[in-house]
Amino acid sequence: MSLKSLVLCSDEKIVRVLRRVLGDLEIAVELCSDADAALRRLTRERFEAIIVDIVDEGATEVLRSARSAPCNKQAVAVAIVEPVIGLKAVFDIGAHFVLYKPVSSERAKSSFRAARALMKSERRRNARVAVQIPVVLRSPGAGGNMKVTTVDLSEGGMAVHLTNQRRPSGQWQIAFTLPGTAAELELPAEFAWEGTSKQAGLRFLQVSPQATMQLREWLKRNSADAEQDDPPISCRLTDLSLGGCYLEMSSPFPVSSRVMLSMRAAGMEVRAQGVVRVMHPDKGMGVEFAQTTPAHRAAVEKLLATLSENRTLLPELLVEPEGLESESNVVHSPAVDHDDPLLQLFYGQAMTADDFHEALRKQRASASTETGDAAAAAHA
């Protein structure tokens, strides 16, 4: 199933570049001549990407409308702008990626490779497989169990059939076994929506990397529309703490993207899920770890110790996107509760990319003189 992009752009040169680059990446282009045509299509068709030239009349409204259109609210938004336009202004209107003019094939291809990986992961996460599985729900606060049956299952949640008129809400611990597997999955989840009087939706919360992979592999085997994911992207780990890390890469993912990280050094590997908290185009991104379990913390501590003992060791780091999360659904860890300078930098006052990297350099210099500082730089 081909990825589809809606393009609002009247500049023929830019359109030619986009058609060539997106065609090479197997992304179909649906060109709209004006904003009204684009708005009509947003309400009727699903697109994995919305690409607009900001100078076109109504382009800003198209981006904003995409966020409210039920079938396109999770589409990846790309804004094409003049170099004088500030990043904050573009991100404030809903863009995830920015392409500066003049648009070159090389720059566009780099940005759209990252965008395509995000588009695929978002579509995969929302793909649902119809299946009936018994599920046990346990309420951590109120106590007691409830038994339901799934209607369908996806990587991000499930629809369930309710056997009585009780309308549950809030967070629950759920347990179920995927058909054809032996190990039971136990996941935290919350009721996210109501369907008919007999149906409701559960959204998974803080799923471990192991459970994520088990779900993903089962869904691939049982989905008729399963497609191959793009390979993980190699990047450079520059700063690491117990709460997060900073990665240098030419096409970072947008703020609020969920990502899976694989950090390898000296024969050990740490896999971690995270959420992008800061992003600097062409430079890199800061990722806060989404897991806070003792096992994850111990693994990161071991990696930190290994890198601190051997400053010449170059860790290998791979990152792959797991989808976009709206700000209303993102859980923000209060940095003030952590003695973690890197997280404090993520959540601190807004800074330019240059100022942010200068602050990172100062943290490295400070950490190098303090034994055991958890925010010590992985490598300067």
Residues near 92 by beta carbon (within 8 Å), at least 6 away in sequence: none
Count CA atoms within 13 Å of residue 24 on its CB side: 12
| Residue range(s) of every CATH 3.40.50.2300 domain in the chain | 3-126
| pLDDT greater at residue 298 or residue 20 | 20
For range 365-379, the mean pLDDT: 52
- Token output for 261: 């990280």
Q: Is the pLDDT confidence value at 68 over 90?
A: no
Cβ neighbours of residue 369 closer than 8 Å, sequence gap 6 or more: none
pLDDT of residue 221: 87
Q: Is the pLDDT of residue 107 over 50?
A: yes
Quote the pLDDT of residue 368: 60
pLDDT, mean over the chain: 85
Q: Are 18 and 27 in contact (CB under 8 A)?
A: no
Query: How many angstroms separate the CA atoms of 4 and 26, rounded?
Result: 9
149: confidence class by pLDDT, cuts 50, 70, 90: very high
Confidence at residue 336, expressed as pLDDT on a 0 to 100 scale: 39
- Residue 374 pLDDT greater than 60, yes or no: no
Q: What number of CA atoms fall less than 13 Å from residue 101's CA on the CB side? A: 15
- In angstroms, the CA 34 to CA 270 distance is 48
pLDDT computed for residue 330 by the predictor = 46
Between residues 243 and 330, which one has the greater pLDDT? 243
* Half-sphere exposure of residue 270: CA atoms within 13 angstroms, side-chain side: 27
Residue 82: predicted pLDDT: 92
Q: What is the reported pLDDT for 338?
A: 54
- Inform me whether the pLDDT recorded for 373 exceeds 50: no
Secondary structure of residue 372 in the 3-state scheme: coil
Give the pLDDT confidence score for residue 166 in this predicted structure: 67
- Residue intervals of the chain classified under CATH 2.40.10.220 are 129-222, 233-367
Q: Is 227 helix (H, G, I), strand (E, B) or coil?
A: coil
Residue type for 70, please?
P
Gap between the Cα atoms of 185 and 87, Å rounded = 42
Residue 314 reports pLDDT greater than 60: yes
Q: Exposure string (b/e) for 20-53, b if CB count within 10 Å is 16 or more?
A: ebbeebebebebbeebebbbebbeeeebbbbbbb
CATH level 3 topology of 233-367:
Thrombin, subunit H (2.40.10)
The reported pLDDT for the residue numbered 195 is 66
CA 152 – CA 154 distance, rounded (Å): 7
Res. 163: pLDDT tops 80: no
SS3 content of the chain, % helix, strand, coil (to 5): 30, 30, 40
Say if CB 23 and CB 29 are below 8 A apart.
Answer: yes
* CATH class of the region 129-222: mainly beta
pLDDT of 197 higher than 80: no
For the segment 29-51, the average pLDDT, to the nearest whole number, is 93
Q: Is the pLDDT of residue 169 over 90?
A: no
The pair of structure tokens assigned to 195 is 């369907």
How many angstroms separate the CA atoms of 238 and 380, rounded?
6
The Cα 185–Cα 208 span in angstroms is 10
Q: Is the confidence at residue 379, as pLDDT, over 50?
A: no
Q: Which residue has the higher pLDDT, 374 or 91?
A: 91
- Pairing type for strands 76-81 and 97-100 reads parallel
Interval 222-272: pLDDT, tens? 887 766 778 899 999 999 998 999 999 988 999 989 999 999 888 888 888
Give residue 369's pLDDT band: very low, low, confident or very high (50, 70, 90).
low
CA separation for the pair 377, 365 (Å, rounded): 9
Is residue 201 within 8 Å of 158, Cβ to Cβ? yes
Q: Partners of 65 in the beta sheet?
A: none
| 122 closest CA partner among 40, 174, 46, 31 | 46
Instruction: Please name the residue that has the structure tokens 């109501």.
Output: 194
If one compares 285 and 2, the residue with the highest pLDDT of the two is 285
- Rounded to an integer, the average pLDDT of 211-228 is 82
Q: Percentage of the chain surpassing pLDDT 70?
A: 89
For residue 155, pLDDT beyond 90: no
**pTM of this structure:** 0.78
**pLDDT confidence tier of residue 371, bands split at 50, 70 and 90:** very low
| Pairwise CA distance, residues 378 & 380, whole Å | 7
Structure tokens given for 315: 């860790």
Q: How many CA atoms lie within 13 A of 157 on its CB side?
A: 16
Handedness of CA 244, 273, 118, 123 (dihedral sign): negative
Q: Does domain 3-126 have CATH number 3.40.50.2300?
A: yes
